[in-house]
Structures are given as C-alpha cells and as structure tokens.
Structure 1
Amino acid sequence: MRALEGKRVVLTGSRKIEEISALIEKQGGISVQRPIQETKKCSVQELEPNIRRVIEDGTDWAVFTTGIGSAVLFDAAEQLNLQQAFIEALIKARIAVRGYKTAQIMKKYGIEPAVIDDDGTNDGLLRALEPFSFDQQNIYLQLHGEPVPKLVQWFEERNADVFQVLPYQTVVPNLNVVYQLIEEIINGTVDVVAFTASPQVRVLFKTAEKLAVLPQMIEAFQEKVVAAAVGKVTGSELTERGVQRVIVPEHERMGAMIVAIAAHYKKINV
C-alpha cells in the first residue's frame, strides 16, 4: 500500500501545481487544489523609481528578504538598462540577506553579503544584524509581498532611515476558495493542508478569524487534519498560531515536503 493511499492533500499555492500533484498521486494520494495566495509582480515602471533611488543616492545598507523579490528588482533593472549601475551601487553598500535563495541571487550578480541569517526567518536576520550600529544609516529594505512592521520598527528603533520596497504583492485570487478550504478543514473532509509560502497561512487564519471559526479550525488541525509547511519560515507561521503538529522537511523544497508527508503516514501506519 502506498503511503498516501486515499489521502486528500490540499495545495494552497499556485506555483508548480502539476508537478506537486503528480508527486502526491504517485504516493497514492488525491491532490486537492485550493490556491488561496498568488504573487503579483510589480511592473518595471513601478519599480524604476526604487531602482534609480539606489543608483543616484546610494544607501548605507540594502536588506533583501526573498529570492523572488531580489530577482524581480534585478530583472527590472536589466530591462531599464540600469542593471550594472544598480549592482555597482549595491556593492558600495553593506548587504544583508534572508534565506538561501536570496543569497544565491546575490552570488549570481557578484554581490557579497555582510550579513546572512542563520535559519531563514526574519528573527534570524535580526539576530545577525544585532552587532551592527544603524544610527543615522539609510536602509534600502526589500520586503516580501506585504508590509512587515516588525522589521521596519527594528531599524527605526535604532535611529535608521528606512526605505521600503515591495517588488511584488501577495493577493488572494478567490476569497470563496478560502471559505471552502476553511469548511473542509473544520469538517475533516481533507487529510493534509500543504502550505508552500507563509502568506498562505496568514490568509487562511485571518479569514477564519473574521468568520469567527478560528478555534474550530485550530482544533481540526490538532485532531483531524495534518498541516505541512515547505520550510521553517512557513512552519513557524503555523506554530505561532497554535498549530502544534506541523510537518516540515529538512530541505526547503516542495517535493521534499510531499516526501515528508508520506514518511509521516508510513510511520503511523506501521
């Protein structure tokens, strides 16, 4: 018997749906597609002032928090014929990055970070930044899909001037799909909910709170439905909201998450 035989596994993201569904079905599972979050990239025209600001005015620090956000900025700079000038401006600054994907983007463009987090989280990034002084420093802060007041406040408390850049936005493609998923979780008509990005967690839990069914949903995750996360950051979003049982793969990959889910069921079915 295959590990996920008959298990209904929900995918809450919109990326690589077909590939991940094939992995689920190979393990005998049923892929349930419930995209509750999408990434909408900003246009080149929208990003041009943000790129020119660094080129023309410079910055003391540039802080990059996601690989996709960093890539969007470099791609936009290239389309504007400003990529080399953008890179040269960043090389003059101190660079801090969160996450291995972000570090890979910097390496691609020959930029050496002064600071790298130790665990892929915002808290890890702030721990790594703690030894430095930011008094009267300019911070070019690339955020991940939505405002992050905690990061901005941390720098401002240290008397820094923060310029926020959001190269992409997190959007909910269809709110009715979120309602449907909440009902399925509470009723236990799905077995696993696999989160591929932390905004998906925030969308689901905020919506459940607005519907006044958050306690019921958390209870369902404890008793009937397994929560899985693609990595530590997404996993911490779940645990911080009271979900105690979260499957997180050792390697932050979607395929590794499905393997980890299968391993969980193999273990309990022995």
Structure 2
Amino acid sequence: MKKPVVAITRPADRAKKACEIVEKLGGSAVLAPTLDLKPVNSDSLKDLVKNKDSLDWIVFTSPTTIDSFNLFYPDFFNDLDCKVAVIGNKTGSILEKQGIHPNLIPCDFTAEGLVEEFSQLNIRNKIIGIPRTASARDTLPKGLEELDNEVIIAEAYKSLFPMDDESVKELISKIENSEIDAITFTSPLTVHNFFKISQGNEKLAGLLSDKLLTVAIGPITGKVLDEYDVKHIYPDTYTVPDMMELLFKEWRDSNGR
C-alpha cells in the first residue's frame, strides 16, 4: 500500500515538527503554508514590557509570542515576577527552556479551557497581560474580564496572508488531480486563507469532504471547516502529534491496515 500524502498548511517556521511526524508515521508530507507569522515590536508590546512589574499573570498562547520576546526583549524572562499561564504543552515546553515554569496549563488547550480554569480557581481582580496576534479571537480577554480581571492585550506578532501563495495553488492543483490523501489545519486562519486562495470554494470543499481525509487540530478550527461545509475529524487532545496520530489511525482503518 502506498504512503499517504499529507498536506501541511501551517506556517513554514512551525511546520518542521509536523512534517517529521508524518514521515515517521510512514507518510509523505507536502508543505503549503496558508499563513505567515511575523513578530512585531508594537507600541502595545512596549507598554506591556515597560509595565511588567505590575502584572499578576501573563498568558502565552503560542510559541510565536515567545519568539517575539526573545527577538525584541531577550532579558524579559530573566526577572519575570508574576504567575504564568500557557495554552498548550508546546508553548509550555518552550517556556521551560527559558527557565520559566508555567503555573497553569489548562487540560483543554483552548481559550475557553483557560478561562474555565481561571474561573474554577476563582482568579479575580488581577492584572493579566496577554501578548498575542491582533487577529486572535476575543474569547480569552472577554472571559477573563468577566471574572473582574484587568486585561492588557499586547500585539506581539502579526498573522499574515501568505506572501507566496504559489505552494498553496500547487497544492490545490494536486488535490484536484487526486494526488493528496489527507490535509491538516491547525488554526482558523489556515482554513480561511486556504479558501481565499482557491477558486471555486464549493468544489474544493467537496473534494476535501469526499476525496481527502481532512483533520483539524481541534474544535475551534473544526468550526471554521464547518462554515465551508467540509467534513473533518479532530483529536481529543489538541496538539499536532495527536492530530497526526489520529490521521494515520483513520487512514489505516479505512485502508484495511
């Protein structure tokens, strides 16, 4: 039986691990980033750094946020004197390498999961910094504010439409020619940008539903696929390794292996 060909749509600088997992599990990876990430030293980030001693908590939602601090403020983590929450084990492990041990990682790796943890722990009337991309959902800051916390949002990076969309156009052509067996999406923007680049969304959505195994990293990304009427699956734990394990399990099951 041939190797499954798996399309990876996450940003190029975050795709190496995903491609390695695909190869390790016996597949062939095709990288077609539908999203670019660019660290930015915004005025709001400067203000957050300037006032970091007033923070009770800081929340890191992605590795790219940490990249921004390391690029613009490499000493930021040296004397950080507040509690730290992260969304996801990957972000947590990167912080561990910085010498920062997260105080809180929700079991549900989503903004909703973190808000629920803060609620259960009755964390209220605190000053909480959230460095992130400006295009992120407002679920996290709104949820924390509803718990009577003061939330300071700082733009640490931009989520951009891919500067070079040729690889995505090539991927779409391969999908139309039945050269791709599965496709993965790791954020809502990876889905939206994929369909913006394509021509004839309805036809492409049909191919992703009927001809490919489409896998989302979790339910938030899955909801966006629902908007495009794309059938999909996602793992119980919202990580890239778990997403790939599920993909290959479904692939083997459907192909009698």
TM-score, with length taken from structure 1: 0.71
Could you report, residue by residue, the CA deviation over 1:40-89 in whole angstroms, capped at 9, with x for unpaired residues?
1225998544312214xx123222212331343255332xx55433x2xx
1:121 aligns to 2:110 (yes or no): yes
SS state at 2:51 partner? helix
- Residue pairs, 1:88-107, within 5 angstroms: 91=81, 93-107=82-96
SS state at 2:184 partner? strand
SS state at 1:148 partner? coil
SS state at 1:166 partner? strand
- Structure 1 stretch 257-266 or stretch 176-185: which is displaced more? 176-185
Q: Which protein shows a greater Rg?
A: 1
Q: Is the 8 A contact 1:221 1:227 kept in 2?
A: yes
Shift of 1:183: 6.4
Name the structure 2 match of 1:20.
19
Looking at structure 2, the residues matched to 118 and 22 of structure 1 have their Cα atoms a distance apart, in angstroms, of 23
Cα distance, 1:106–1:32 mapped onto 2, change above 3 Å: closer
Cα distance, 1:37–1:115 mapped onto 2, change above 3 Å: same
Higher helix share: 1
Equivalent residue letter for 2:209: Q
Shift of 1:153: 2.2
Q: Is the 8 A contact 2:8 2:31 kept in 1?
A: yes
Cα distance, 1:129–1:186 mapped onto 2, change above 3 Å: farther
Cα distance, 1:240–1:47 mapped onto 2, change above 3 Å: closer
- Considering only aligned residues, what root-mean-square deviation do their CA atoms show, in Å? 3.8
Looking at structure 1, the residues matched to 149 and 18 of structure 2 have their Cα atoms a distance apart, in angstroms, of 44
* Structure 2 residue corresponding to 1:169, chosen from 158, 163, 174: 158
1:9 aligns to 2:11 (yes or no): no
1:204 aligns to 2:194 (yes or no): yes
Looking at structure 1, the residues matched to 24 and 98 of structure 2 have their Cα atoms a distance apart, in angstroms, of 39
Q: Is the 8 A contact 2:25 2:248 kept in 1?
A: no
Q: Is the 8 A contact 1:44 1:76 kept in 2?
A: no
SS state at 2:73 partner? helix
1:142 aligns to 2:147 (yes or no): no
Cα distance, 1:148–1:161 mapped onto 2, change above 3 Å: same
- List alignment gaps of at least 5 residues for structure 1: none
Looking at structure 1, the residues matched to 237 and 148 of structure 2 have their Cα atoms a distance apart, in angstroms, of 37
Percent of residue pairs identical: 20
Shift of 1:168: 1.9
Q: Is the 8 A contact 1:51 1:73 kept in 2?
A: no
SS state at 1:95 partner? strand
* Structure 1 residue corresponding to 2:225, chosen from 241, 245, 251: 241
Looking at structure 2, the residues matched to 111 and 28 of structure 1 have their Cα atoms a distance apart, in angstroms, of 35
SS state at 2:78 partner? helix
Q: How many residues align?
A: 249
Looking at structure 1, the residues matched to 38 and 76 of structure 2 have their Cα atoms a distance apart, in angstroms, of 22
Shift of 1:117: 0.9
Name the structure 1 match of 2:61.
65
Shift of 1:150: 2.0
Name the structure 2 match of 1:154.
143
Equivalent residue letter for 1:241: L
1:218 aligns to 2:199 (yes or no): no
- Structure 1 stretch 39-48 or stretch 137-146: which is displaced more? 39-48
Shift of 1:237: 0.6
Cα distance, 1:107–1:259 mapped onto 2, change above 3 Å: closer
Looking at structure 2, the residues matched to 45 and 110 of structure 1 have their Cα atoms a distance apart, in angstroms, of 26
TM-score, with length taken from structure 2: 0.74
